[in-house]
Amino acid sequence: MAKEKPDHHDADLVLRVYEMRREAVLRESRASVINRFWPTSYDDVQPYFKAEHPMNAPWRQVSTYWEMVYGMVKHDIVHAGYFLESNAEGLVFYAKMLPWVAEIRRDSNPASFRNTEWVATQSPEGQRIFEVVQARVKKLDEARAAKT
């Protein structure tokens, strides 16, 4: 049963998630993978799965971080609406990778983006936010592509 309203436990989890995001290595990984990485094909994504690739560790850190925190939403550990008000960044990452999720699951990890996908497609709060995020990502990508 989904939590009807947030409580102090939810606030504690949201603050902990925020504190984790402030950690220097995760902050740099997020900047690299979410802000600076704009793939245009699966060929741009696939090299990140190789252990020797310099972006492999940031990719794994960011993808597993968001899967972990969105798992708390999926499994009703935290109130979805309250949590997603300040934690939509993982949905940005998912929107950017969505065209290649099937290939990512095939070549990297069959569970990749499972919790994030659930938040984006099954959670009413997540669906509303993801719709806005998808439009924003598309607009940013088009503007970025126009500059190149």
State both tokens at 80: 């979805």
When pLDDT is averaged across residues 70-94 and rounded to a whole number, the result is 95
Residue of 7 and 101 predicted with greater confidence: 101
Specify the pTM.
0.92
Range of the domain at 112: 8-147
Q: What is the pLDDT of residues 8-60, one digit of tens each?
A: 998 999 999 999 999 999 999 999 999 999 999 999 999 999 999 999 999 99
Confidence at residue 145, expressed as pLDDT on a 0 to 100 scale: 85
Confidence at residue 1, expressed as pLDDT on a 0 to 100 scale: 63
Say if 116 falls within a structural domain.
Answer: yes
Say if 3 falls within a structural domain.
Answer: no
Say if 117 falls within a structural domain.
Answer: yes
Q: How confident is the model at residue 98 (pLDDT cuts 50, 70, 90)?
A: very high
Say if 2 falls within a structural domain.
Answer: no
Residue 59 has a CB neighbour count (10 Å cut-off) of: 21
Number of compact structural domains in the chain: 1
Q: What is the pLDDT of residues 120-147, one digit of tens each?
A: 999 999 999 999 999 999 999 999 888 8
Q: Maximum Cα–Cα distance for the chain, whole Å?
A: 48
